Amino acid sequence: MSNLSTQELETKFQQKIDANEYIEPKDWMMDKYRYNLIRQISQHAHSEVVGMLPEANWITRAPNLRRKAGLLAKVQDEAGHGLYLYSAAETLGISREELLNQLLTGKAKYSNIFNYPTLTWADIGAVGWLVDGAAIINQVMLQRASYGPYARAMIRICREESFHQRQGFEIMVTLCQGTAEQKAMAQDALNRWWWPSMMMFGPNDKDSPHSSDMAKWRVKRESNDDLRQRFVDRVVPQADFLGITVPDDKLKWNAATQHYDFGEIDWTEFHNVINGNGPCNRERLNARIKAHEDGKWVRDAAVAYANKKRKKAA
């Protein structure tokens, strides 16, 4: 037992973070830090797993074998990301069962982006290009998050996400160099995925309740708005290269700031979606509940096997 007062422990904790040292699972940490990490890491894990659904929708309809193999591998990678992240969250003292329960009862959030439908094959291109593109910008920062298990999980995830982003962009290049109809499909996908992708970075800094604590604890090393700006600056030239138009009439290069200016996000839509009322929220949750129920016999069999082995060993 430590003889230090709570105040002294908090000071030491913050000094460690300020010195860019990792906080590890057995280290003393503030309850608020633990709570907020569980909140963010589990939201992230759920996003990876729910994110498999809109993409899996196209595995059987991919236009050729090469595309099917690429998409299958990507969807499998997302399951792996979910596993790394659930494991990282478990090191903070919460069980996998409780985490899943929070998702399946609708208590836990997951990324807004996965509550939109993937209507055409071009959506698979747009998801890789924009959604994985946005995810990487956020997650490169998280590789340096102060909690060791989270930061280490992010390193591996980022490597795979950058491959996903490229496969998505390559689909967009192929469509945009194809027939007029294919290019129109790519434009339509950009129209529908642009604003939801912009929302992935979370509310504006001034309206983000968790940002100041998360920044003080060096979980977030850059702000929601700064990351969103980086996304716009990176993606607009890519859209120009593709010859398609970002659906924002306020989008304009600003020579003074050396950044693109852009229009206002529809925050009412964002709040509706993250509070369970987006176009696909119910469908996504029902699919996860069904998968969980269908998988019960596998979990039961695994527990029974482990118990039998334990009894034999005793």
- Which residues of this chain interact with ligand BYC, rule CB under 6 A? 39-40, 43-44, 47-48, 51, 78, 109, 111-112, 131-132, 135, 138, 199-203, 208-211, 214, 224, 274
> Among residues 175 and 274, whose Cβ is nearest to ligand BYC?
274
> Among residues 174 and 208, whose Cβ is nearest to ligand BYC?
208
> Among residues 122 and 183, whose Cβ is nearest to ligand BYC?
122
* Residue closest to ligand BYC (Cβ): 51
- Minimum Å distance from CB 89 to ligand BYC? 12
> Among residues 114 and 183, whose Cβ is nearest to ligand BYC?
114
- Minimum Å distance from CB 109 to ligand BYC? 4
Side chain identity, residue 18: D
CA distance readout (Å), 35 to 89, 93, 104, 237: 10, 10, 19, 39
Instruction: Say which residue the tokens 């020579």 belong to.
Output: 255
> Among residues 169 and 201, whose Cβ is nearest to ligand BYC?
201
Q: How many angstroms separate the CA atoms of 107 and 103, rounded?
A: 6
- Minimum Å distance from CB 313 to ligand BYC? 39
DSSP state of 60: G
- Minimum Å distance from CB 263 to ligand BYC? 18
3 state SS of 20 = coil
Cα-based angle 147, 166, 121 (whole degrees, multiple of 5): 115
Both tokens of 101, joined, read 């329960």
Number of H helices, E strands in the chain: 14, 2
- Asked whether the beta carbons of 195 and 116 are under 8 A apart, the reply is no
- Minimum Å distance from CB 304 to ligand BYC? 32
